[in-house]
Amino acid sequence: MFRAFYPKRYLASAYEIPYENMKEKGIRGVIFDIDNTLVPHDAPADERAVELFRRLHAMGLQTCLLSNNKERRVAPFAAAVGSAYIYKAGKPSKKGYERAMERMGTDSSSTLFVGDQLFTDVYGANRAGLYSILVKPINPKEEIQIVLKRYPEKLILWRYEKEKRRRKDRD
């Protein structure tokens, strides 16, 4: 029932993902959410984000920012990190993810998605057939509509972790 919301991996930060290993496994493009994934809500791109995108591009990976936010938020961030972008993406609809892959010249088997929310980011990525990584939100201060979603997210993450432990015990 909840598996549609389960990420392939759950990590503390977008900055600790082993992108080199992902590239070795065939990943050619990375789609990122912005707010609370790369920087706190409404914050500009910081040096850490700029350096991450520099590193990814130097590795030959394509990138695309996928946000439900407006262009006035997304475009300056994309310019700062040198990435393609899609604003008002309509996540969790598959369409935004598909457009991002089209822009990067990748497909679902060669694309990784990184975001901080289960019900929009991960669910949409899973629906599009992508390898999804959920990261912990950077800043606990969030808009009320996101705060309210965090409660059911905790239940799903609890079940996800429980199932993961059970599988590990069987191996």
Q: For 60-86, write each residue's pLDDT tens digit.
A: 999 999 999 999 999 999 999 999 999
- The pLDDT assigned to 146 comes to 67
Question: Are 40 and 138 in contact, with CB atoms under 8 Å apart?
Answer: yes
Output phi, psi for 149, to 5 deg. Answer: -75, -25
pLDDT in tens, 89-140: 999 999 999 999 999 999 999 999 999 999 999 999 999 999 999 999 997 7
State whether residue 116 is helix, strand or coil: coil
pLDDT (mean) for 1-21: 93
Assess contact for 125 and 97: CB atoms under 8 A.
Answer: yes
What tokens were used for 147? 């705060």
CATH code for the part of the protein at 3-170: 3.40.50.1000
From CA 22, how far away is CA 16, in angstroms rounded?
A: 12
When mean pLDDT is compared across 16-20, 77-81, 97-101, 153-157, the lowest value belongs to: 153-157
pLDDT at 144: 65
Q: In this structure, are residues 103 and 81 in contact, taking their beta carbons and an 8 Å threshold?
A: no
pLDDT level of residue 167 (50, 70, 90 thresholds): confident
Please identify which residue in the block is written with the tokens 């695309």.
64
| pLDDT(143) > 90 | no
Q: Is the pLDDT of residue 170 over 70?
A: no
Specify the pLDDT at position 147. 64
Do 142 and 41 meet the contact criterion of CB atoms below 8 Å apart?
yes
Q: How many CA atoms lie within 13 A of 100 on its CB side?
A: 36
The mean pLDDT value of the chain amounts to 92
